[in-house]
Amino acid sequence: MAGLRERKKQRTRQALVQAAFQLFGERGFEETTLADIAAQAEISTRTFFSYFASKDDLIFHDTEERLETAARAVVRRTPEEPLIDVLRRLVDASVESALNQTLGKKEAAVRTRLILTEPSLQARGLHLLFDTQLRLARTLHGSFAGELSMVEAAAAIGALIGAVKLAVVADLQDDRSFDEILDTARRAAEIAISGLRSLA
């Protein structure tokens, strides 16, 4: 039962995100103030904070959820499934989640540019990803109880995601197309995974 109350809140939330991405796109992140965004979405500045905890969160509001979705790929290890297969599922799920954008094409492009451009946003993004990795490593360690030490689990996840992340960002900075980037991600993953065979 989505009451009128809930629906209105959803609309306001949407309006905020939309206003934000429009203004960020036009003027840049730092140059856009919360007051601007709130005004455009027709709420008071104070109320903004009952929708998002911070200005950054406008950019990352769905990120935690997306990461979590991808991470679930690791949780369900079928019995005896080899490490490499689990890791490959993780990569597939991540690519999948990258394709499944909540945002429109234009907004997604703005976001990517901003994250690459604004140091504070880049830092925040890295932090979110890192937390996920840590959880993943612990999960993996648990799923392979006895077979994989914590160091090994951490090394495996760190190597895999580290390789993909770095390769993708390097590609983004070189202004590659989306398809090229997906390809890069998969290739980097294969390099890291094939390297991890020794753990299998």
Partner DNA sequence: TTGAGGTGTTGCATCCATTGAAATTTTGCA
Partner DNA sequence: TGCAAAATTTCAATGGATGCAACACCTCAA
* Structural element, H or E, at residue 164: helix 150-173
* Residue entry with tokens 């504070």: 120
Read off the tokens for 95.
């690519």
Verify binding: residue 9, DNA, rule CB under 7 A: yes
Q: What is the DSSP letter of 199?
A: G
**Which residues, numbered 53-82, are part of the site for DNA (CB under 7 A)?**
53-56
Please identify, using beta-carbon distances, which residue of 4 and 145 lies nearer to DNA: 4
Whole-angstrom CA distances from 9 to 6, 21, 155 are: 5, 18, 43
Interface stretch with DNA, choices 35-43, 126-134, 138-146, 169-177 (CB under 7 A): 35-43
Q: Transcribe 93-150 into DSSP letters.
A: HHHHHHHS-SS-HHHHHHHHHHHHH-HHHHHHHHHHHHHHHHHHHHHHHHHTTTTS-H
Verify binding: residue 22, DNA, rule CB under 7 A: no
* Structural element, H or E, at residue 180: helix 178-195
Give the phi and the psi of residue 191 in degrees, each rounded to 5.
-60, -50
Verify binding: residue 124, its own copies, rule CB under 8 A: yes
Shortest distance, CB of residue 165 to DNA, whole angstroms? 25
Interface stretch with DNA, choices 27-35, 69-77, 132-140, 151-159 (CB under 7 A): 27-35
Please identify, using beta-carbon distances, which residue of 38 and 137 lies nearer to its own copies: 137
Verify binding: residue 58, its own copies, rule CB under 8 A: no
Residues in touch with its own copies (CB under 8 A): 119, 122-124, 126-127, 130, 133-134, 137-138, 150-152, 154-167, 169-171, 173-174, 184, 187-188, 191-192, 194-199
Residues in touch with DNA (CB under 7 A): 3-5, 8-9, 12, 32-35, 42-47, 49-51, 53-56
